[in-house]
Amino acid sequence: MRKLYRGLILFTILAFVVFAAITGYADKSDPDVDIIIKKNIEAAGGLDTIKSLKNISFEMATPPPYGYTQSVYHVASPNLLKLESGAIPAVDEVFVYDGTEFKENHYYVTPELAEERKVELKCFTKLISGAFTMMNFKDNLKFKETKKYGPEIHHVLTAKMGDCNVNFHIGADDFLLKRVIFDLSDKEKGLYQKTYDLAGFEEVDGLKLPMMMYTCDIGAGASARGSEISIRNLKINQDLPKNFFRDTKLNYGSVTTEKGHLEGNLILTLWIGSREYRHITTNFKEEDIKKSELKSNDKIKLEVGDKSYDALFLSSASEMNEELRKSGNVVFAKHSRAPVYIILMHGQKFESVENLETLTKIKIDKIEKQK
């Protein structure tokens, strides 16, 4: 009887061991946060290499077919950021952050930087200055959970930043940062998440850094459409001007005007309607048009780079759309949502100037009516 009893106990123990090995039940204790952070720092290049990082700059670019727009990040410490946006080298928006406050400058009229966006920028300033590791968050991190995504296992650490919870997913195999999720709240969207997936890690000056990012909003009222972003033109430890992180100067070319004549620059080009139309944003504003004394329906000679077009000036977006449908002319008109003027032309007409660079010269001359 005793042998049977002992045999049952031994069988039960062996069965539990096998079950635990298969399901992972044997170890339900949470991983040590300090160990995860240490391995994360080592995976990215080591503490000494990361501490030697005085500044880092790179472009985050959205690829074609919709035209290149970039955000250029410059980071010099956990609390020192400069963010330039536009179709580089044109810069139509600049944010600087000194650890206390944000300052901004815009070519277009835009609303004040939203609080949730400030949280994102503060978070990425800390991340980037720490070579995309947890180095600058270690005093504010808690273990949340271990999650499995197919064959991948992530250790999820969480931190409170303002009113936002930020979740950092660390790969259990290589301990690199794989995902950042912001739990956000918006009056219109309600509760939603903004997700950044990091990929394409490459070694740069002893640091292992991501070269690709995929971002997506998930939740009530948020768009599930994601964007793939490439990280390029990465530069480390540059000799930057003394006041670089306080300078909010823009770069959108220059404008000269006189009666019947304007000279300015191309700021951005975009395809519209599956390459049916090409949209060219210029740096001309309302005050420039007033000085030129152009009137709606004036015929103009339009030069974009070394190409010349007969075009029509229109004072409103509604007139512009109607004219394009009716005649297919090249149109110069006011933007419907921004205080600048744009050029619209059919894709076939734009083929000859498709590779125009940002800040290309634009000239406009009114065609006088023959008496």
Does residue 103 share a domain with residue 45?
A: yes
H-type helices in the chain, by residue range? 2-23, 33-43, 47-51, 115-129, 286-292, 317-327, 347-350
Task: Look up residue 150 and give its two tokens.
Answer: 């197919």
Instruction: Give residue 250's pLDDT.
Output: 93
**CA–CA separation, 63 vs 69, rounded Å?**
8
Instruction: Give residue 328's pLDDT.
Output: 63
Peptide bond into 78 cis (omega under 30): no
Confidence of residue 145 (pLDDT cuts 50, 70, 90): very high
Asked whether residue 1 carries a pLDDT value surpassing 70, the answer given is: no
Assess if residue 360 is contained within a domain: yes
Instruction: Give residue 136's pLDDT.
Output: 96
The stretch 276-289 carries a mean pLDDT of: 87
Sequence-separated (6 or more) residues with CB below 8 Å from residue 322: none
CATH assignment of the domain containing 190: 2.50.20
Which has more pLDDT, 247 or 369? 247
Does residue 297 share a domain with residue 238?
A: no
- Please give the residue range of the domain that contains residue 336: 256-366
The stretch 47-60 carries a mean pLDDT of: 96
Sequence letter at residue 344: L
pLDDT tens track for 350-369: 555 556 788 999 999 999 87
Does residue 233 share a domain with residue 86?
A: yes
Q: Model-level pTM?
A: 0.81
Assess if residue 58 is contained within a domain: yes
Of the three residues 246, 265, 285, the one that is the final residue of a domain is 246
Reading phi first (left if > 0) and then psi (alpha if -120 to 50, else beta), residue 278 is in beta
Asked whether residue 272 carries a pLDDT value surpassing 70, the answer given is: no
Does residue 222 share a domain with residue 86?
A: yes
Does residue 315 share a domain with residue 197?
A: no
Assess if residue 152 is contained within a domain: yes
Q: Do the bridges between strand 277-282 and strand 299-304 make them parallel or antiparallel, or are there none, so unpaired?
A: unpaired
Assess if residue 10 is contained within a domain: no
Structural domains of the chain, count: 2
Task: Look up residue 49 and give its two tokens.
Answer: 């290499």
Confidence of residue 115 (pLDDT cuts 50, 70, 90): confident
What is the overall mean pLDDT for the chain?
Answer: 84
CATH assignment of the domain containing 267: 2.40.30.90
**CA–CA separation, 167 vs 153, rounded Å?**
15
Assess if residue 126 is contained within a domain: yes
**CA–CA separation, 365 vs 106, rounded Å?**
28
Assess if residue 25 is contained within a domain: no
**Quick check: 255 and 267 in contact, CB under 8 A?**
no
CA 87 to chain centre: 12
CA diameter of the chain: 123
Instruction: Give residue 335's pLDDT.
Output: 83
Asked whether residue 159 carries a pLDDT value surpassing 70, the answer given is: yes
Q: Which residue has the tokens 């080592």?
A: 42
Task: Look up residue 97 and give its two tokens.
Answer: 């952050």
pLDDT tens track for 2-51: 554 455 454 444 444 444 444 444 345 678 999 999 999 999 999 999 99
Task: Look up residue 75 and give its two tokens.
Answer: 């980071």
Does residue 241 share a domain with residue 324?
A: no
Q: Which of 186-200, 294-308, 324-338 has the highest mean pLDDT?
A: 294-308
The stretch 153-177 carries a mean pLDDT of: 95
CA 10 to chain centre: 59
Confidence of residue 218 (pLDDT cuts 50, 70, 90): confident
Sequence-separated (6 or more) residues with CB below 8 Å from residue 128: 56, 73, 75
Which has more pLDDT, 167 or 61? 167
Instruction: Give residue 35's pLDDT.
Output: 96
The stretch 263-271 carries a mean pLDDT of: 86
Sequence-separated (6 or more) residues with CB below 8 Å from residue 55: 74, 75, 76, 236, 237, 238, 240
Confidence of residue 68 (pLDDT cuts 50, 70, 90): low
Of the three residues 246, 273, 307, the one that is the final residue of a domain is 246
Instruction: Give residue 102's pLDDT.
Output: 94
